Amino acid sequence: MPRLRKRKRLPTTIYLPRRLPRGLALVILIVVGLSIALRDRDRPAAIRTTAVAAPTVDSDFARYHDKSFRVVRVVDGDTFDIDAADGDSPNTRIRLWGVDTPEIAHGGKPDMYFGPEAARFAHESLDGSTVHIVLSPLDTRGRYGRLLAYVFLERGDVMFNELLIERGYAYADSRFKHHYDDQFKQAEKRARRAGMGLWSKVTSDKMPAWRQRLER
């Protein structure tokens, strides 16, 4: 496992309450419901989205927030499984908030530039280790139902999301606003200036499609 830089001070993470206050949970539910309604109003009825039940965010906070779990499988640079049941699955799949690592080969598609390197770094850092999970009240689930999380290698110490960016294994994902949006963008700027990881040789055509659009 690579030697990880020890922070002299705690990151600016806010450890949110284990359970959302009822008022805040209600506000989030109303906002999510309105967003879904506005997004789906012009869709055919057959493909409209079903609203998520109210307990979802609260139950995720109760089960995962500010708790530690063992990593049982690393999927790629920004996705892995922990040893906690999730519905019918024996494990919970984690998708890191605010970062996007290049994809590795899957579904007939080849590796993206620096995808294997990012996946290897995640394996070296996370395989069999215990990580600390911090959730956001903005959202707890992303695409495909994966749990969105800030992941610390130890409680209050190195945040793996930011470490990926600092080492040049991931892009700061600016498509979705989150608590560390500015902090991650600054980390990327430093990595880019220093030519860390993928920034040593990456060209626009080798970047993910969303990042290519941003670069243009």
Identify residue 200 by its one-letter amino acid code: S
For the chain, what are the domain ranges? 57-215
Q: What is the DSSP letter of 9?
A: S
Which has the higher per-residue pLDDT, 165 or 107? Answer: 165
- 62 CB-near residues (< 8 Å, 6+ apart): 18, 19
Which has the higher per-residue pLDDT, 28 or 108? Answer: 108
- Predicted confidence at residue 143, as pLDDT, reads 84
pTM for this prediction: 0.75
> Strand 92-96 and strand 147-152: pairing?
parallel
Average pLDDT over residues 101-123: 96
Average pLDDT over residues 113-135: 98
| Region of poorest pLDDT, from 49-53, 55-59, 134-138, 172-176 | 49-53
Pick the CATH number of 57-215 from 3.30.1370.100, 3.30.70.2190, 3.90.960.10, 2.40.50.90: 2.40.50.90
- Per-residue pLDDT of 166-200, as tens digits, reads 999 999 998 988 999 999 999 999 999 999 999 99
Average pLDDT over residues 94-118: 96
> Distance of CA 50 to CAs 45, 86, 137, 156, 164, Å?
11, 20, 20, 36, 34
Distance CA 104, CA 116 (A): 6
- Predicted confidence at residue 145, as pLDDT, reads 94
Distance CA 36, CA 165 (A): 31
Distance CA 97, CA 136 (A): 9
Give strand ranges (E) for the chain. 67-76, 79-82, 92-96, 99-100, 130-134, 147-152, 171-172
- Tokens coding 100: 């996007």
- Tokens coding 88: 């019918």
* pLDDT of 11 higher than 50: no
Model confidence at 23, pLDDT cuts 50, 70, 90, reads: low
Contact 97, 172 (CB under 8 A): no
